[in-house]
A and B are shown apart, each in its own frame.
Chain A
Amino acid sequence: EAEVAQSPRYKITEKSQAVAFWCDPISGHATLYWYRQILGQGPELLVQFQDESVVDDSQLPKDRFSAERLKGVDSTLKIQPAELGDSAMYLCASSLGSVNTEAFFGQGTRLTVV
């Protein structure tokens, strides 16, 4: 069964260090999302890609976060420098289209900043 792949599953980093997460969407899915989920809350969108283009990054803290999807397939989300408040689950999702189609999620990367 096709699924969204994310790595690593868990990451512990010291504050002020750089950290990166990787996502490989379901093959053929043009739309890719990065969400952040704080424990006990629903996922919140950070960035949405349509192919290699950013569609929405209005909620991405651009002073420290960056995201890219250079070839329109896999994607990387980076945080530099990491802060204690960045500790959360980072979820990647993909969908066939950008309009009213379900998004399929990966297992997420659990980030702990110490």
Chain B
Amino acid sequence: GESVGLHLPTLSVQEGDNSIINCAYSNSASDYFIWYKQESGKGPQFIIDIRSNMDKRQGQRVTVLLNKTVKHLSLQIAATQPGDSAVYFCAETGGSYIPTFGRGTSLIVHP
């Protein structure tokens, strides 16, 4: 069936490094993608989104890249800080327009 998944369950980086979190999706009808950050015991927090008519979008310290050819999405975090430590989810809305989440990647930032 259709699914959204992440390549790496855990990513460890040093403070100040750049982080890249990857996500694969299989629903070719997906046209809107969202990255969420979830800290322990809290609800997911919106980070950045991208629509399928774009291949790159930048926010504050974050960049999302979309490669529709290989159905791949990535989140780049520049100058990663300890406060960035969390689980990151990509979500996609395909034909159902309902945000569907993958399993998540745990980002650990070492000071």
Contact = CB atoms under 8 A, between A and B. Distances in A.
B31 A100 contact: yes
Interface string A56-79: 100000000000000000000000
**Size category, B interface:** 20 to 34
Contacts of B91: 42
A43 B97 contact: no
Contacts of B44: 43, 91, 93, 105
Interface stretch (B13-21, B75-83, B98-106): B98-106
Given A41-B104, A110-B41, A33 B99 contact: yes
B43 A100 contact: no
A40 B97 CA distance: 24
B98 A107 contact: no
Interface of B: 4, 31-32, 34, 36, 41-46, 49, 51, 89, 91, 93, 96-104
